[in-house]
Amino acid sequence: MNSHTITHRQLFFLIVQTQIGVGVLSLPFSLFTKAKIDGWISLIIAGLFIQFSILAIWKLCDRFPHNTIYEILPKLMGKNLGLVFNFIYTLHFAFISILILIMYNSIVGKWILFETPHWVIIFIMTAVGYYFITSSPREIARFFVIVTPLLIVLFVFILYAYTDVHLLYIFPVGQTGMLTIIKSSSDAVVALLGFDASLVFLAYSNGTPAKNIKVISFASFCITVLYAFIVFTTYIFFNPAEIIIVPEPVLYMLKAFSFSIIERTDLVFLSIWIISVATSFISYLFIAAKGVQTLFGLNDHQKGAPYVAIFCAVIAIIPNEKLEVLMWNKYISLTSLIFSALFPIVLLLIAVLRKKQEKGAASS
């Protein structure tokens, strides 16, 4: 365990990179379909909500220091029920990986490689993911730190949109009503998923609990702000009548820009965005592999990794029509909402009520 720990700074980058993923491209669109032009408010509210989930996750992991969710569950619910929930969680994380693959495939198939068979696109990503998860969290975290500066490039690209924005588009603020805004924030929570990676990665952190919570919370805050910025930018770039017909507003926005050295900015943006998708995928695949390790009592997660990777790739190939993709997206989003955002709070309640706590835990 000692050589696999990560610092709290690395934990920050792990969470940031896990949170930024496929969601960012279609988020403005999906929020618009629910909350109209007030989608960005929903996103900020969602950002507030997930802070509660994060607090619950942190409290839960704090009671069981250096334990992953898979080790915590049996301790909380007894051996048998714990095993069942371990299975559910492993499957849940595997399906998030699958959802990432599906969404990535549909975007890449639509924007970059029109002719390439879908299974090739998926298998390439899975192969890369497999290569990554054969190592320790420390090395993965180091890699995530390196690629984070690329987010600045993405940010600058989007910043360029401000040469042609119309602030009037977002007015009147709050036109859809508070209730709709709050309701549609559940959609935004799905895009912000990634903080749940701390269920596993917190166990590896060697920072103090106080530092850990600051770091996770700040990571989520940063991403919420970044996403809100992106959503807001697209809303003032396109007029409300346009957004409804562009499913990936960010890309359409970038497609409109052309510089004297690069004609299609969106292709460059997508190439960098793929790295962010890959990092999210790697995180979740790693977590799923960890789950498989606990389920089958393997010595290390590397042994189960190839099976997890192949499982994800094979399942991800199944949906190939646009409607199917939407359906998968809907269901997996729903389960993620339950298991990643809500269930940790329930687990914390169980832990508090049953007074379950590992010896040596700092808080009491």
Partner 1 sequence: MTFFKKPKKLVQTKNAPENQDSSHETNSQDSSQQTHSQESQPGGVQNLSLNEILTKVKEPFSATEDLLTHEIELPSDKSRIALLYIESIVDKQLVQSMILNPLFVTDKEINFNSFKQMASIDLKKHTEMKQVQELLLQSNTLIFTDDTTCFYAMSTPVKTQRDITEPDNETIIRGAHEGFIENLSMNLALVRKRLKTPRLTVKYLQVGKETHTTIALLYVDNIANPEHVKEVEKRIKSIEADAVYTPGNIEESIEDKPFSFFPQMLSTERPDRVAANLMEGRVALVYDTSPTAHVMPVNFFSFYQSVDDYNKRWHIGSFFRFVRIMGFFIAMGLPAVYIAIVSFHFEVIPFGLILLIKSSLEDIPYPPLFEALLMELTIELIREASIRLPTRIGSTIAIVGGLVIGDAVVKAGLVSNLMIIVVAITAIAAYIVPSNEMSAAVRILRFPFMVAAATLGFLGIVFGFLILIFHLCKLYTFGSPYFAPIAPLNLADLKDAFIRAPFWKQNTRPKDVTAQKVDNANHTRKWDKS
Residues that bind partner 1 (CB under 8 A): 10, 108, 112-113, 116, 120-121, 124-125, 128, 131-132, 135, 139, 142-143, 145-147, 258-264, 267-268, 270-272, 274-275, 278
Q: Are 205 and 4 in contact (CB under 8 A)?
A: no
Q: CB of residue 301 vs partner 1: minimum separation in angstroms?
A: 15
Beta-carbon contacts of residue 239 (< 8 Å; ≥ 6 apart): 166, 169
Q: CB of residue 69 vs partner 1: minimum separation in angstroms?
A: 25
Q: CB of residue 7 vs partner 1: minimum separation in angstroms?
A: 8
C-beta of 13 vs 89, nearer to partner 1: 13
What's at 104, amino acid-wise? Y
C-beta of 58 vs 144, nearer to partner 1: 144
Residue 310 CB coordination number (10 Å): 13
C-beta of 164 vs 263, nearer to partner 1: 263
Q: CB of residue 201 vs partner 1: minimum separation in angstroms?
A: 16
Q: What is 221-236 written as a DSSP string?
A: HHHHHHHHHHHHHHHH
Beta-carbon contacts of residue 298 (< 8 Å; ≥ 6 apart): 292, 304
Tokens at residue 340, please? 């990643």
Q: What is 131-166 written as a DSSP string?
A: HHHTS-HHHHHHHHHHHTHHHHHHHHHHHGGGGG--
Q: CB of residue 277 vs partner 1: minimum separation in angstroms?
A: 10
Of 345, 303, 50, give the one whose Cα is nearest residue 191.
Answer: 50
Rounded Cα distance between 295 and 291, Å, is 6
C-beta of 156 vs 167, nearer to partner 1: 156
C-beta of 76 vs 125, nearer to partner 1: 125
Q: CB of residue 260 vs partner 1: minimum separation in angstroms?
A: 6
C-beta of 262 vs 310, nearer to partner 1: 262
